[in-house]
Amino acid sequence: MPSTHHLVTPLSKDDIRKLRAGDLAFISGTIYAARDAAHKRMTEALDAGRPLPFNPEGQLIYYVGPSPAKPGRPIGSAGPTTSGRMDAYTPRLLKLGLAGMIGKGNRSRAVMDAIRDNVCVYFAATGGAAALISRCIRSYTVLAWPELGPEALAAMEVEDFPVTVVADCFGTDLYEEGRKPYQHI
Amino acid sequence: MREISVDLIRDTVARLAVEACCRLPESTLAAMHRARACELSPTGRDVLDQLIQNADIAEKENVPICQDTGLAVVFAEIGQEVHITGGLFEDAVNQGIAKGYTEGYLRKSSVEEPLFERRNTGDNTPAVIHTRLVAGDRITLRLAPKGAGSENKGALHMLVPADGIEGVKKAVLETVRHAGASPCPPMVIGVGIGGNMELACLCAKKACARDVESRNPDPRYAKLEEELLDMVNRLGTGPAGLGGSVTAFKVNVEFCATHIASLPVAVNINCNAARHAEAVL
């Protein structure tokens, strides 16, 4: 039976070792919004020997490019974007101490190996549930590259953000295992 | 000649943009409820509950169903007896997109050139406009915003006639299998069969933007739609790709005439937010 976890960032390795593919988790605390362009910029910063705009130790990156906030709201709709586009950048960030990612969709072999080898985790948020997810987001603060618009790197305060563990640190991939009982072709 | 002003076209497109992005069509919502009733996976049912709740919030608060409010795809049918006054049709459509996406707090996701700078155009223009001249004195505008999560997982298969129905089924199945969780299942799958390269893709896009309750009027192709849906739902991908019995709400097939040596098959996938809005002027 899948377990339910309440997690507060930053995550410790002990927190991560308790998670199993298929478990539900509610995440609270600061998470970092970044997608394609911000990952490219982060990689360029590391190549140039500059620090990242945030300390990745134990933190989670959420792959999201929100819609604009209406007046009085911290953020617009904010569901996950496809994680696979960030595969090329992810192993390096995990080696630097990043605890994991929240997104949707399958990851490359290299990312899955890096998740296992560095004791990390990959969560899925529900793609398409963007208005619902935005209700868990208390604040959205751009940290770097505001010219990227919805692709800027931002810190988000979240409360009980619902996610599913897709890849745990033991090498299990829910996208592979989850469909097996229902596959009849 | 009946006159229709570019101002009316612009304002209609702006309204359709917000409507399509914030209000899930009733038929898509009904398909979600049906899927919720028959989904075998508890996790899959949870995902569908979230999607139904999400559609309700989006409609009540007039906020986007999904943050990816897409490239704006516009299907326009222009009656030959219409005289468009005050400017150019395509300019009016693009002005409407800019207005709707800006005033409606929709995300601007269009970059002006694909490879070097990839600079955001800032107002979600240009729209992707498909225009047909038809009989009559009306203009029908159908707006189908399309996010990239699902669009990126489409494929074109240039089959040959000997591949036949089995080849078509294999092409659709492999495309959907390969797409996995990325296009936000349960999806609506548009299949375009026949034509040439570009026409097969256009047919697939039209099929993708068709309502989930529609059927191909040709009973042979309607039956193929059902067979393809059954096959796709046996993949086990399930809601959000976490495993389950509902991978797609619907498969829509469109076909057209083709070359004696060709059997093009295009697959265009739509996500669970199968959005569209239409107006007749």
- In this prediction, residue A1 has a pLDDT band, given cuts at 50, 70 and 90, of confident
Give which of B115, B150, B153, B242 to mutate to test A binding, by max A Cβ within 10 Å: B242
For the residues B56-75, what does the mean pLDDT come to? Answer: 97
Would you state the pLDDT for residue A149?
87
| Min Cα–Cα distance to chain B from A106, Å | 6
| Min Cα–Cα distance to chain A from B261, Å | 31
pLDDT of B79 strictly over 90: yes
Dist CA B208 CA B272 (whole Å): 12
| Min Cα–Cα distance to chain A from B257, Å | 31
Contact A127 B181 (CB under 8 A): yes
Dist CA A131 CA A77 (whole Å): 5
> In the block, which residue shows the tokens 């040959």?
B160
Task: For residue B239, give the 3-state DSSP assignment.
Answer: helix
Contact (Cβ atoms closer than 8 angstroms) between residue A34 and residue A144: no
Task: For residue B27, give every residue at least 6 positions away whose Cβ sits within 8 Å of its Cβ, in sequence order, or none.
Answer: B211, B212, B213
Chain A residues within an 8 Å CB radius of B121: none
- By C-alpha distance, the chain A residue nearest B239 is A126
Dist CA B20 CA A139 (whole Å): 27
Give which of A20, A39, A75, A82 to mutate to test B binding, by max B Cβ within 10 Å: A82
DSSP A99-120: -EEEEBS---HHHHHHHHHTT-
pLDDT of B109 strictly over 90: yes
Contact (Cβ atoms closer than 8 angstroms) between residue B16 and residue B279: yes
Dist CA B93 CA B111 (whole Å): 18
Q: Report pLDDT digits (tens) over B230-271.
A: 999 999 999 999 999 999 999 999 999 999 999 999 999 999
Q: Rounded to 5 degrees, what are φ and ψ at A148? A: -80, 0
Q: Specify the DSSP element, H or E, that contains A94.
A: helix A90-95
- In this prediction, residue A185 has a pLDDT band, given cuts at 50, 70 and 90, of confident
Which residues on adjacent β-strands are paired with residue B83? B3
- In this prediction, residue A2 has a pLDDT band, given cuts at 50, 70 and 90, of confident
Would you state the pLDDT for residue B62?
96
Task: For residue B17, give the 3-state DSSP assignment.
Answer: helix
- Residue A25, token pair as written in the block: 């988790």
